[in-house]
Structure 1
């Protein structure tokens, strides 16, 4: 057995294969004098090193247990001679000096293992407090209902994502949203329900509301259906209250101008998507295209001359669980254009 390998084992740096090699070596019935002297040297180094104050009590307890086990084994030896046993158990020496030597050998073998177990146990305990996050996404044209552990329900619109802890803490329920979702919040006065959308934080106790937040788009819209919510601008180390909404009110926040306004909203226009209704109310061409792309997971390109000024182009209509062809045909009839489909690409042509 190489001395460097013993030192490596004692430092806890051995691979599983090297550990097996060392343990097999210790099972030999007789140890050569150089190996015996090397074990004594290693043990003397252990005795003069100061153990960490944090783990010293544990190492003492481990040594006490090892000593107790060896003494029990010695008592058993008075009855049974293990050297002649057919079970192939290693014969243990009987003299006090040899027992002390084997005690040190046992400590060298098992102390690193016990410390490894202790560190692993402490690491596992600490990691139980680590928050495990859940992320749920919905693709184009897909809407999902998510029931949280507290009974709250999230209806996720297409091309949206929510992230939340698998288990809420004892003092808050926090959700992060990208896209659009409707929240029906279970009442819990001890744990406010908070939704983070960019720089805004919406807080509620027991209520229902809709949030539409698309990174890169100009506006964030927060519409309250029931109860009340508090909306804050959330900066690191600083929160500024913007508004407390009442049912039927909506806050629209400009991500470019950093301004906001509170006004009444049309429930059919804002909330009908939850029932599978694609609704347009005086929508301009850009809004119609954006909604169609998100709803059906398509890409739309417009060519030709749009009649009149672009800002005057408006469309109002409602479609429930309709196919893309039916919706395009309906809009094309009213707004006088034709279209072509190529896979998930649509080409709209104005004459």
Structure 2
């Protein structure tokens, strides 16, 4: 074999070997692309109590890779992920059961199953559920906006367990949202806002802040079959929980400064902040206040209106406030 022929032979051999290596690499890449994340569905939620529930999932395919972890994840918000609360329930394919613990009573949660392999994490379909209430109640109610509220029976009356959050009167007319401070302070018609106009932490889960013109509007602020609480309603409420020195019995166990709130009534009051004229209160974490329908003197258009006021003290205060202030609202069943 002469020198030229030998070089040609080496070049041809190298090309053949390179082509074979590329074919092997391409085959490996093809095989790798055949692997996927797991496929699964979420099992029905059962055995719901005040603090626990049971669900799980069914993994119908591991995607060609072994399962690393599986379970359910849940959150107060939609589309929970493994960065939220999770269970860890083995690494097998097929159906599995998940026990969900340490929930809050009478709270809405979103849940879905998950499974992880080396390719990634997949989620099953999302389900929602609400834990049971510890307290007697008259069921859930819905306002004209579609907001759903829990209730609690205290004494012989049924109360909303949450602050009102409607943006419409009972007849469907809109209540304007007013953010500007000077405009709010000069209003003679109904309006609502969020605390600090939604820029702080106390927003939708605390309910809306209303002026008294919205409370007093003939179109109705409360849902059908309900009414905004009166001065007498709040007096009777305080008597039912042990008197005016029993504020802690009305206050949620969390959200307040200190840790001696009992919420033994189930009223579940949380600090909400207020709007004094056009100015928001500076320390919302220690104050909650609700309008009543009762004016100090009905003969005076701009006279003071009674409100019920809680802070970190033990006393329930029923005080007089200016008609242009902004407070939250609790409703009572007719």
TM-score relative to the length of structure 1: 0.25
TM-score relative to the length of structure 2: 0.26
Higher relative contact order (CA 8 A, sep 6+): 2
- Identify, as 1 or 2, the structure richer in helix: 1
Which structure has the larger Rg over C-alpha atoms? Answer: 1
- Identify, as 1 or 2, the structure richer in strand: 1
